[in-house]
Amino acid sequence: MTSKTWRTATTLVHGGTTRSQHGETSEALFLTQGYVYESAEAAEARFKGEAEGFIYSRYANPTVDMFEKRMCALEGAEDARATATGMAAVSAALLCQVKAGDHVVAARALFGSCRWVVEKLMARYGVETTLVDGRDIENWKKAVRPNTKVFFLESPTNPTLEVIDIAAVATLANEIGARVVVDNVFATPLFQKPLELGAHIVVYSTTKHIDGQGRCLGGVILSEKEWIDENLHDYFRHTGPSMSPFNAWTMLKGLETLPLRVRQQTESATRIADALDGRKGVNRVIYPGRADHPQANIIAKQMSGGSTLVAIDIDGGKEAAFAFQNALEIIRISNNLGDAKSLITHPATTTHKNLAEEDRLELGIGAGTLRLSVGLEDTDDLIEDIDRALSAI
Ligand SMILES: *Cc1c(COP(=O)(O)O)cnc(C)c1O
């Protein structure tokens, strides 16, 4: 059940819902691996694609299907495949469309595991890759080769919240016949619509804001039906990165409250970024909702909201950053993000520890850099927690 005329909040409560013969209010959890057929002929027809229906939950499942349809309605996509994790979504979206001898250009500021897939894994299978500073469109142009098939980027980036002009990258991709894959986790599906900006494929780690309460891992790939049929369909069925029905059910419930949570977390993040700015002990605050963000003009063009994340550079390097984290009482030290609980991490020693120091510095990840994911606690409590920890350094 989905209508094109529904606004976002309505779509997120009702979109994609199908009901069983019991007419349940809440989405049913179909915790099943397989499906039985009325007859041998019915099984044959379903395998031939002549009759509608489910075959095996590695391919599709009614609860997962509801989640995929609700995500399609939210994103404005024709089709989707939900995956077990965000990394399953990223790796499937990239690997399903390349072969040995193809070339991929990716922005160098990527989530750690995404960078490993692009730099290390693809190379093993003969796919050439070039990493660029994605903030300048000229770098993308210079990296193009005759065999360039895919552009891959994340915006805002993890952890330093750099922003890439998605429409400009998509225009270039269309000129050379390449496809743009956008990892839209940090923007959330509410604040940025990559498909409307010209991107061809959008991926999420639904582990983050879509679950939003720190419970289940998940991911999703969204695109045109034709691209999914031609590239992802067989890859997905035969390599098996599918989402579990239980996790899809949890994600459906997460989507119902997504706008309420993200709005509240973004309001808190904005207040926290403002409170941190200019404070003694804080070198720099990077927040996509602030006028002093280096790419505020692109943000105004492609995002309809800020972020639930704030990047902070603490004066005094690793020692001060560790002392600050250890002094926090409400904000917990964790490398996850998008949770109802506020979480903080020191990228140089956790999420980005595998990068060479020069690569880290190139991305603006210094010894004092911290990434704060703002949760649903009272904003005043969070600001007091930060104040207390800053004075403890
Ligand atoms: C978390 C994250 C991923 C990976 O998602 P998992 O669900 O942990 O596999 C990929 N990209 C970005 C930007 C992320 O934040």
- Domain-wise residue ranges, the chain: 8-253, 258-392
Please state the CATH superfamily assignment of the domain spanning residues 258-392 in this structure: Aspartate Aminotransferase, domain 1 (3.90.1150.10)
CA dihedral (70, 75, 76, 77) positive or negative: negative
Q: Could you tell me the distance, in angstroms and rounded to a whole number, from the CA of residue 217 to the centre of ligand 1?
A: 9
User: Collapsing DSSP states into helix, strand and coil, what is residue 243?
Assistant: coil
> What pLDDT does 5 receive?
87
Q: Could you tell me the distance, in angstroms and rounded to a whole number, from the CA of residue 111 to the centre of ligand 1?
A: 7
**Phi, psi of 132, rounded to the nearest 5 degrees:** -130, 160
- Please tell me the pTM assigned to this model: 0.97
| 65/251 Cα distance (integer angstroms) | 12
Q: Could you tell me the distance, in angstroms and rounded to a whole number, from the CA of residue 206 to the centre of ligand 1?
A: 8
Q: Could you tell me the distance, in angstroms and rounded to a whole number, from the CA of residue 292 to the centre of ligand 1?
A: 27
If one looks up domain 8-253 in CATH, what number appears?
3.40.640.10
> What pLDDT does 248 receive?
98
Q: Could you tell me the distance, in angstroms and rounded to a whole number, from the CA of residue 278 to the centre of ligand 1?
A: 31
110 CA closest ligand 1 atom index: 13
Burial class of residue 197 in the structure, from the number of CB atoms within 10 Å of its CB (0-12 exposed, 13-18 middle, 19+ buried):
buried
* Residue 161 backbone zone (phi > 0: left; psi -120 to 50: alpha; other: beta): left
Q: Could you tell me the distance, in angstroms and rounded to a whole number, from the CA of residue 87 to the centre of ligand 1?
A: 6
Pocket test for ligand 1, best of 94, 153, 184, 208 (most atoms within 8 A of CB): 208
> What pLDDT does 237 receive?
97
> What pLDDT does 112 receive?
87
Which residues' Cβ are closer than 6 Å to ligand 1?
85-87, 90, 111, 113-114, 154, 158, 183, 185-186, 205, 207-208, 217, 219
Place of tokens 């419930």: 253
- 8-state DSSP, 34: B
Q: Could you tell me the distance, in angstroms and rounded to a whole number, from the CA of residue 127 to the centre of ligand 1?
A: 22
Nearest CA to ligand 1 atom 1: 205
Nearest CA to ligand 1 atom 11: 111
> What pLDDT does 1 receive?
67
Q: Could you tell me the distance, in angstroms and rounded to a whole number, from the CA of residue 183 to the centre of ligand 1?
A: 9
Distances (CA, A) of 198 to 71, 95, 169, 178, 259: 18, 21, 9, 12, 24
> What pLDDT does 163 receive?
96
Which residue stretches of the chain have pLDDT < 50? none
Nearest CA to ligand 1 atom 7: 86
Nearest CA to ligand 1 atom 15: 185
Pocket test for ligand 1, best of 91, 110, 184, 207 (most atoms within 8 A of CB): 207
